[in-house]
Amino acid sequence: MTQSANASRPAVLVTGAAAGIGRAIAARFARQGWTVGLYDIDAAAVRTTAAEIGGHTITGAFDVTDPTGWDTALREFTDATGRLDLLVNNAGILYSGAFGDIPLPRHHRLIDVNIKGVLNGCHAALPHLLRTPGSQVVNLASASALYGQPGLATYGATKAAVRSLTEALDLEWRHHGIRVTDLLPLFVATDMMTEVSKGSKSAATLGVHLTPDDIAQAVWHTANQRRAWSGPHVLVGLQTKLTA
């Protein structure tokens, strides 16, 4: 659904935009006057979210594990906007618990959504990013990419893969003028955090609670290069409490 778009306005596509961090990122860019594509697996929720945040929005529903869904979404979005300044690969899932207690299909689903979802997005978006000068990708990894945590083994492994993919693509696409960054947040107060608290004592006892708006702010600063460039990884949490 297109509410309004205009090729003179910068355009961002956010996955997992119906709730949590994705919703906050979409709202932040909408407030700044960007055209925002809100995409989520939950069609009804993403429409409601777009209506609530207002601004210039485009919505659609697809599963990030589906390459055809990506192609359709990107075609419809760029047909409406004429550009793709920023792709935010935010959609992600988490199952926590003892490794052996989590059924194998859930481990596989984590890999599909959290790794293949990001990979599919980067692959499908590349032609559109190449056509938009100064374009960027921001991937939501996690501080879990940096160290193994009991209860979050496969989740952490998927985020380590996103971190590695980000670093490689940032190097590979730099000569095209495309910047690729990941965010490595500590724990953010969303529905996902509730799941973490259930399954990982070490996660819960870390007790660091960012808000979705903190992450939206970090994406905004990253996209606008207000931070000193320190490489493709942005740790959000302990030392980084950004101000507007």
User: What residues line the site for ligand NAD (CB under 6 A)?
Assistant: 15-16, 18-22, 40-42, 63-65, 90-94, 113, 117, 140, 142, 185, 187-188, 190-193
CA nearest neighbour of 83 among 119, 135, 122:
135
Report the nearest approach of ligand NAD to the CB of residue 188 (Å). Answer: 4
Query: Annotated catalytic, 95?
Result: no
| Residue 146 amino acid letter | L
d(CA 188, CA 212): 6
Residue 43 or 130: the one with the smaller Cβ distance to ligand NAD is: 43
What letter represents residue 10's amino acid?
P
CB 220 to ligand NAD: min, Å: 15
Closest CB to ligand NAD among residues 13, 192: 192
Rounded to a whole number of angstroms, the minimum distance from the CB of residue 133 to ligand NAD is 28
d(CA 119, CA 133): 21
CA angle at 141 for the pair 131 and 23, rounded to the nearest 5°: 75
d(CA 102, CA 20): 24
Closest to ligand NAD by CB, 20 vs 199, is: 20
- Rank residues 8 and 191 by Cβ distance to ligand NAD and give the closer one: 191
Cβ proximity of 190 and 20 under 8 Å: yes
Q: Least distance from C-beta 171 to ligand NAD, angstroms?
A: 22
Q: List the catalytic residue out of 39, 95, 147, 155.
A: 155
Between residues 176 and 217, which has the closer beta carbon with respect to ligand NAD?
217
Q: How far is the CB of 187 from ligand NAD (least distance, A)?
A: 4
Nearest to 110, CA basis, from 8, 231, 62, 118:
118
**What does the radius of gyration of the chain's CA atoms come to, in whole angstroms?**
17
Alpha-carbon torsion (194, 42, 92, 151), positive or negative: positive
CA nearest neighbour of 132 among 1, 4, 9, 3: 9
For the annotated catalytic residues, the residue numbers are: 155
